[in-house]
Structure 1
Amino acid sequence: MVSRIAIVGGGWYGCHIASSLKALGFHVRLFERHKRLLHEASGNNQFRLHLGFHYPRHHGTRVQSRDGFMRFVERYPLLSREIPENIYAVPRVDSLIDFATYRLIMTSTGIDFREQTEASIPILGAEGQILTGERVLLIDQSRRYFTEVLGDSLVLGHEVTSIVQGADGVTVEGEPYDLLVDATWGQQLDIPLKHFFEPTLLLYYETAQEFPACTFVDGPLCSVYPTEDPTIYTLSSVPHTPLARVGSAAEACRIRDAVDGATVEHKRHLMEEQISRYLPTFRDSFRFIGPQLSIKTKPVGNVDDRSCSVFRDGRIFHVMSGKIDTIFFAMERIVSFLESKNSQNFLSASTPLKEEILTRGVKTGVYRNKVEQS
């Protein structure tokens, strides 16, 4: 019987899995090496709750995002908010896909949107635009929510140094558990999937005016997206946000921590130049206030796959995803294993079916008549 479960990593996946398992009655212990939850990639990203519009080239990612978005809003109604004007635009020259094809893909995926010809700000070079219902994540509110819900199940400010798997369980820091969920994206244990680590640099900007969320797709493009503070936005760029592509988490951390002012200014110049090709009022509307540094883990390959995968190695689960809204997929994979393991306790070596059939036959006279005839 599975009853004690350890989780390493206090990001969105670790917090959701831990709180869900705790609500189901399991004894849960979540280890986070920082002194607060959602401290790394989960709290250092573009704050976007995806619906699937970002991924016209990967059906699986779109479907997981579409379904996960609806479930997220239902499960956590106070941990995200609407964006009054959320635009996806397809540039006529720089996009890898034309607007008609993009629109057809999104329609066939069953994602709601509204096509528009004009926005509240000037947008240059767009073949087409749509308005979407994607939302912005409220990270500080989420952090406080999970801290309260998990309570004494949390071990904050503790980096796990000992994990030993046996036939019947996993020992974590000398304590026995039935299962372990590694939600660190390869920073604690190696993921059984070819992957790389990508240190990243986004930029924070402040504005005194209302400005829409603007995302340009698809390919080596850029986006401006609001944060939980409605006066602060992030600027992200597919070619300029990454700092490197390396094979170890330690090397990614070293590169991230070595970023200096000159690097930030260089990236800022490139990213502002790129976004201004589409949003000519960007520099007049925003004031740069600082960088955001993080590390992403991505699968190796040319496909645009950011869907969620769950790998099991004995008593250890490895979670891998590029989207926050697919937390429910990961949880369901783990629960299906728990149900199968717990159901084994009710299985016996033999089945009483034949005995029951014969007994019913005797009671109804069928078996007796057959004997008399013979």
Structure 2
Amino acid sequence: MALRVAVIGGGWYGCHMGLSLKGLGFDVQIFERHDRLLNEASGNNQFRLHLGFHYARHHGTRLQSRDGFMRFMERYPNLSREVAENIYAVPREDSLIDFPTYRLVMTASGLEFRELRENSAGLRGVDGMLLTGERVLLIERARQYFKQNLDGVLHLGTEVESVESVGAHVVVNGEPFDYLIDCTWGHRGGLPIRFFYEPTILLYYECDVPFPAVTMVDGPLCSVYPTEDPNIYTLSSVPHTPLGRFDSSAEARAARDAVTGHVVAEKCAAMEDQISRYLPDFRDRFRFLGPQLAIKTKPVGKFDDRSCYVFRRGRVFTVMSGKIDTIFFAVERVLSFIEAGAGDYSEFGGSLLRQEIAAAAGGER
């Protein structure tokens, strides 16, 4: 009889987790409280499929992103598109790292790139630039893909109101399962590490002509990145995108929902001022369309760790990650935990090695 698994959360991780386990023969049920998939941070973020260039200060995140990018392209080849000109630039004065060091870190991490001398964006004040192969995620296409392929196991508009551990089962909304996988990034049951909730604001802009993706690294900098719409871009900023740090999901949601037009105007001015240091004609090229609001869950620390972790407590797994391309690592960890717990060795009586040695020695006489 197939193991029954409940997945809470219909974001990238919940959908991929459910689809993978379903393909392996598990009886999977996915619970998403919204009426559509990828409705929270999975669909409200930069539309970037990472390769690792974003994380000069964390080796593990770079490697997981590099490997995850390749696997994502194999598994979901139609859920992203290429960016004709995708630039990572190191500012001459504002970066925490100089360009030769940044380039060396990326080379040592096995990331492919081409060094640029010129660009069509009109960048100013930079120490060096790399042309990379990072891609744009197609969120609406992903929603349709997962909804179609998860037909029959997907419960949209369904709030998980109760979770109980009863014997060898986890009872979700009164229904027994063998395992539960929480893909809500701590919004439902927290995390077993020090973390915080960060409501965020990204800004949507329109540009009439194709514009490169421009990411300034490394440190409290900014980026302009395309979306699935060829004329719409996001503007984000390390110092200005966060709306605060909170210990509870409820506080973070309240802060996100309380954003006013005045706050949006202040964020626009601050982010435009910052990006204009490197793209002086940004305001002439782009027109503001509106804000994008979301909540991120991050570990406490300054080490820039956005790699993927899976925690287990009994029959409940909790997933924590900062990037979409590490979905494969999460599935493998869950399967490893399940496989390790498949056998019951509580009645193991001890080693027979001593008896085997004695028997072998007796046979030699």
Shorter-chain TM range is over 0.9
Task: Say which SS state the counterpart of residue 210 (structure 2) adopts.
Answer: coil
**2:9 alignment partner in structure 1:** 9
Spell out the pairing of 1:77-88 with structure 2 (5 A cutoff).
77-88=77-88
SS at match of 1:304: coil
The 3-state SS of whatever aligns with 2:303 is: coil
CA distance in 1, matches of 2:235, 2:25: 42
Give the counterpart letter for 2:274 in structure 1: Q
Q: Secondary structure at the match of 1:25?
A: coil
Q: Please list, as runs of the form range in 1=range in 2, the aligned pairs for 1:254-269 lying within 5 A after superposition.
A: 254-269=254-269
How far did residue 339 of structure 1 move? 2.1
In structure 1, runs of 5+ residues without a counterpart are none
* % identity of equivalent residues: 64
Inter-partner Cα distance in structure 1 for 2:309 and 2:113? 28
2:309 paired residue number: 309
Alignment check: 8 A CA contact 1:220 1:237 kept? yes
Q: Give 2:70's aligned residue.
A: 70
Segments of 4+ in structure 1 off by > 3 A? 345-351
How far apart, CA to CA, are the structure 2 residues paired with 1:348 and 1:2? 25
Distance 1:167 1:118 in 2: 64
- Structure 2: distance between partners of 1:195 and 1:185: 10
Please report how far the alpha carbon of residue 203 of structure 1 lies from its aligned counterpart in structure 2 after TM superposition: 0.2
Superposition pairs for residues 319-358 of structure 1, below 5 Å?
Answer: 319-342=319-342, 344=343
Query: Equivalents in 1 of 2:180, 2:99: separation in Å?
Result: 45
The answer for the alignment partner of 1:228 in structure 2 is: 228
**Matches of 1:35 and 1:135 in 2, distance apart?**
27
Counterparts of residues 32-111 of structure 1 (less than 5 Å): 32-111=32-111
State the match for 1:287 in structure 2. Answer: 287
- Cα contact 1:2–1:338 (8 A) shared by 2: no
Partner Cα distance (1:18, 1:347) in 2 = 31
Helix, strand or coil at the partner of 2:39: coil
Q: Deviations over 1:318-372 (max 9, x none)?
A: 1000000000111000111222233x27999689x99xx9xxx9xxxx96xx6xx
Aligned residue identity for 1:234: T
Partner of 1:192: 192
Q: Measure, in 2, the Cα distance between the counterparts of 1:348 and 1:82.
A: 55
Contact 2:2-2:25 at 8 Å conserved across structures = no
Look up the equivalent residue of 1:307 and give its one-letter code: S
Task: Calculate the aligned-residue CA RMSD, in Å.
Answer: 2.1
Q: Is the 8 A contact 1:203 1:292 kept in 2?
A: yes
What corresponds to 1:168 in structure 2? 168
Work out the CA distance in 2 between the residues paired with 1:43 and 1:185: 14
Aligned partner of residue 331 in structure 1, secondary structure: helix
C-alpha contact (below 8 Å) 1:2/1:341 kept by paired residues:
no
Secondary structure of 1:180's counterpart equals strand
In the TM superposition, residue 167 of structure 1 has moved relative to its aligned partner by 3.7
Kept in 1, the 8 Å contact 2:2–2:27? The answer is no
Question: 3-state DSSP class of the match of 1:66?
Answer: helix
How many Å separate the matches in 1 of 2:76 and 2:152? Answer: 21
Which residue identity is paired with 2:257?
A: D
Give distance in 1, aligned partners of 2:63 and 2:166: 37
Amino acid at match of 1:255: A
Q: How has the CA–CA distance of structure 1 residues 2 and 167 changed in structure 2, closer, same or farther, with 3 Å as cutoff?
A: farther
Q: Could you say which residue in structure 2 is the equivalent of 1:152?
A: 152
- How far off is 1:10 after superposition? 0.5
Decide whether the 8 Å contact of 1:85 with 1:213 is kept in 2.
Answer: yes
Q: Matched residue of 2:151: which SS?
A: helix
Match runs of 1:241-256 below 5 Å: 241-256=241-256
- The answer to whether the 8 Å contact 1:14/1:183 transfers is yes
Shift of 1:284: 1.2
User: Which has the larger Rg?
Assistant: 1
State the match for 2:118 in structure 1.
118
1:105-140 C-alpha deviation (Å, 9 max, x unpaired): 000000000001110121010000000000000000
1:152 is displaced (CA, Å) by 1.0
Task: Tell whether the 8 Å contact from 2:13 to 2:327 is kept in structure 1 after alignment.
Answer: yes
- Contact persistence 1:187–1:249 (CA under 8 A): yes
Alignment of 1:24-39 (within 5 A): 24-39=24-39
Aligned-residue offset at 1:2: 6.5
User: How far did residue 153 of structure 1 move?
Assistant: 0.3
- Kept after mapping to 2: 8 A contact 1:2/1:178: no
